[in-house]
Structure 1
Amino acid sequence: MMMDRITCILKDKEFNMYLKNNEELEEDRIFCHHDITHFLDVCRVATIINLERGLNIDKELIYATGLLHDIGRWVEYKIGKDHAIASAELAREILQRCGFTNVEIEQVDLAIRSHRNKEHVTDLSNILYEADKISRPCLSCKSKDKCKRFLNGEVYNFKY
């Protein structure tokens, strides 16, 4: 299956500028980065969850959501705006340029806006939340003893 709209996102000038902004502002960050590796890991884990649960969510929708869910992280660093909201806002124009329908844009927007919440109203939102959490390379992280996830008592369980 060709994913032309995903290729469009990956080649989008603003997407790449936002990605670079994230990279520059996280250069000295000791915790997980919000980069293309993280985005693709989220896409792939969300796709696995979708297949395992038989949800039949369109793969392009999953990849669009995964690629764009943290694209506004740099906005949070710069002005303190919640990156989930900033990412959803920045994603809309990219999605429009890449040929997503208004219905699809609304679905992606909702999933991105709520990707940090534990409660979800859509399957897309739920699998984004789960994939974002379990796609992290915590097993090999050199900073996990300082990470708020583990300081709060969370235990790492490898799943994918």
Structure 2
Amino acid sequence: MHVIEKIWNHPLYAKYYQKLAEAEKERIFCCHQIGHLLDVARIAYIQNLEQKLGIRKEVIYGAAFLHDIGKYRQYTEGIPHEKASAEIAEVILNEAAGDAFSEGEKASILRAVLGHRRLREGMEALEKLIYTSDKLSRNCFACKAQEECSWDAGRKNSNFHGLI
């Protein structure tokens, strides 16, 4: 998956990833570094295989790696991170991905990044995969900051149901 390495090594990605890591250094809640990105990608890929959706692995991993890259801008500028992430992702996809993704795949990745925070009717398959995987990646039942978390009880993964 050479294209994922290109995304990871893109200067804009590196810049925002580093800023986000620094901003979340003392965070007690879920963080948005490589562990989370890989969890989202792996869960989405497994769901893709189980549901026989036929989405290429590179497309899933690309969307997963890009879905939270704008989180730093949410912290510092108040921009919803899905919007900031989509803006950054578009630049990275155009510069780093080359012909690894078709124009349709790039558009699908951007929709998934933009739509990963809210479930809605008519979601594309990749968009729904990233949304679902992002939520399933949270191990709320084992989190030491569970009591302080602002997520309502209905959103938290309070047991293994749906996770395995």
Tell me the TM-score normalised to structure 2 length. Answer: 0.90
Q: How many residues align?
A: 158
Aligned to 1:147: 149
Aligned to 1:6: 4
Displacement after TM superposition at 1:117 (Å)? 1.1
Deviation string for 1:18-77 (max 9, x for gaps)? 111111111221100011111111000000110110001111110000000000000000
Deviation string for 1:54-109 (max 9, x for gaps)? 00111111000000000000000011000000001100111112223322221111
For structure 2, the 5+ residue unaligned runs are: none
Aligned to 1:64: 62
Aligned to 2:73: 75
| Greater shift in the superposed pair: 35-44 or 134-143 | 134-143
Cα distance in structure 2, aligned partners of 1:4 and 1:27:
29
Aligned to 1:37: 35
Sequence identity, in percent?
Answer: 39
| Greater shift in the superposed pair: 20-29 or 99-108 | 99-108
Cα distance in structure 1, aligned partners of 2:143 and 2:83:
28
Deviation string for 1:112-151 (max 9, x for gaps)? 1111111152000001000000012323211011112245
Aligned to 1:132: 134
Residues 154/6 of structure 1: CA separation in 2 closer, same or farther (3 Å cut):
closer
Question: Contact 1:111 / 1:125 at 8 angstroms: preserved in 2?
Answer: yes
Cα distance in structure 1, aligned partners of 2:154 and 2:41:
26
Question: Contact 2:48 / 2:54 at 8 angstroms: preserved in 1?
Answer: yes
Aligned to 1:52: 50
Q: Which amino acid aligns with 1:106?
A: A
Question: Contact 1:71 / 1:90 at 8 angstroms: preserved in 2?
Answer: yes
| Greater shift in the superposed pair: 130-139 or 70-79 | 130-139
What RMSD in Å do the two structures reach over aligned CA positions?
1.6
Q: Which amino acid aligns with 2:107?
A: E
Out of 94, 99, 107, the residue aligned to residue 96 of structure 1 is 94
Cα distance in structure 1, aligned partners of 2:81 and 2:14:
17
For structure 1, the 5+ residue unaligned runs are: none
